[in-house]
Structures are given as C-alpha cells and as structure tokens.
Amino acid sequence: MHRLILNKIVLVLSTLSAVIGISFLFWILATLTYKGVSSIHWSTFTNDLVEGGIRNLLVGQFTMAIIASVVAVPIGMMAGIYLREYGHGSKLASVIRNLSDVMMSAPSIVIGVFVFALFVDPFGGYNGWAGIIALAIMMIPIIISTTDNMLSLVPTELREAGMALGGSKHKIILQIVVKAAKVGITTGVLLSFARIIGETAPLLFTSANNQFFTMDLTEQFPSLTVSIYNLATYPDSESRELAWAAAFILTMIVLFINLIGRYAIRNKK
C-alpha cells in the first residue's frame, strides 16, 4: 500500500515538473507570436534596417553563418574522423577530445573577446570576417563531437568487411564509414547551424552591426541578432516592434532548421 502511494506521488511530481518546464517554452513562443506577428509587415522583408526593415540583417546573418559553416564543417569533420578512426586510443586524440569538449561549453562572449583581440583591434575596426571567425570557432567543436559520436556508432565489422575486400584505410573511411554515418552527421551539422545562426555574443564586438545593405565583409556587417539586442534598448515603439518582429522571425528560422534536422533527414533514411 505504502509503495503504491509513493509511486503515485513520484508520478504526480515528475509530471508536474515536466509541465512547468515545457510551459515556459510555450509562454515564450506565445508571447513572441502575439507581439511578433502583429509587427510584421511586407516592408519588414523588403526594407533594410535604416528604413525600418530587416532585409539586410537576414542576408547578413545568413552570409556569416553560411561562410562560417563552409569553414567549420570540413575542419570539424576531419578532426572528428581523426579522433575516431586514426587517433583511436592515442594520448593526442584524448587531449584533443577533452579540449574540444571544453571549447564547446566555453561562454560565447569569451570567444567574442578573443576574436576581438586578434582580428578586430589589429585590423582597424569591426568587420564581417571577424564575426565569421567567431562563429566558426563556436561551430568547430560541435561538429567534431557530432562526427566523433556518429562514427562511433558505425559497427567495427563494417570497417573489417571493407578491409577484408582489400580496401585501404582511407578508402574505407571515406567510402563506407562516413557514408554509414551520413544521416547522423548531417543532422549534427544542421543543428549546429541552427545554434550559430541565433548567436549574439560572438558577433557583438566582432562584426557588430550595419544599418545598410552590404556584402563587403571587411566592413561592419549587418546582423539580425545584434539588431534585436540594439532595437530592444531603444525607447521608441517602432524600434521595439521591429525587435519583436525580428525575434519572432529568428525563432521561426531556428525552429524550422531544427525540425528539418530532427525529422526530415531521419525519415529519408
């Protein structure tokens, strides 16, 4: 009898906790939708920040995140392949793996400060490249860890079978092992892209922001997240509304990429 009551109590408490946890998520989404949707107009997408829109901000944010991915994905994947396939059991590999894990939990503002000291100060001011470098630094350890984990799920027998057919190590890795882990790695890449596209701190004093449309990465570069941060502090209601609209759009983008990563690709398997 006593056991049954205890069982009930635990069930009720854990359900309640789950509901509390998830209710905040819905609260945020509901507020964002309520405030954001009413602030979105057609001109939000066609105008640049200087005219009260976010066109240049969206382009800028995606440009930096995409170039950062182009840099970070190959480096991270190759490092992950090294850790799992070549450095297996070696001292160097375990040191790199631990450092990479530490990097993953490094506060993003610290990465911003680091990039500021190396690529902003010596180059005479905020620039798009510095923002890209900061985002890439954030992304690399995530890709390393995903690749490492996904490759570890590929059964050893598959590598041995490739070897038994006369495959050399690099061919087996590239043609069989990575292929077998493709779905997992792609998901990881998408999720890490979703992560960096919503980052503010690494951009705050690297690429900063730009009110105008530009594709020149040596200048200050337009950023959606930094703009939300700035706009929200302005006193006028138009700026506040634009901040809500931008926050809602950013959330939808991140949500969308997450959903693709979690479902669409997995089902394709």
Query: Which residues form the interface with other proteins (CB under 8 A)?
Result: 155, 157-169, 171, 175-176, 179-180, 182
Our CB check for other proteins shows the closer of 40 and 158 to be 158
Q: Is the dihedral of CA 60, 63, 65, 67 positive or negative?
A: negative
Q: How far is the CB of 269 from other proteins (least distance, A)?
A: 9
Our CB check for other proteins shows the closer of 162 and 261 to be 162
Q: How far is the CB of 156 from other proteins (least distance, A)?
A: 8
Interacting residues of 59 by C-beta distance below 8 A, sequence separation 6+: 213, 215, 222
Residue 160 has phi, psi (to 5 degrees) of -65, -40
Closest CA to 207 of 71, 60, 69: 60
Closest CA to 207 of 52, 103, 61: 61
Q: How far is the CB of 171 from other proteins (least distance, A)?
A: 7
In the chain, the amino acid numbered 100 is S
What's the CA gap between 156 and 151, in Å, rounded?
10
Closest CA to 144 of 192, 183, 198: 192
Say if CB 211 and CB 50 are below 8 A apart: yes
Q: How far is the CB of 168 from other proteins (least distance, A)?
A: 6
Our CB check for other proteins shows the closer of 125 and 155 to be 155
Please tell me what DSSP assigns to residue 4. Answer: H
Q: How far is the CB of 88 from other proteins (least distance, A)?
A: 8
Q: How far is the CB of 76 from other proteins (least distance, A)?
A: 22
Give the residue carrying structure tokens 């894990």: 101
What's the CA gap between 47 and 226, in Å, rounded?
17
Closest CA to 55 of 217, 255, 212, 250: 212
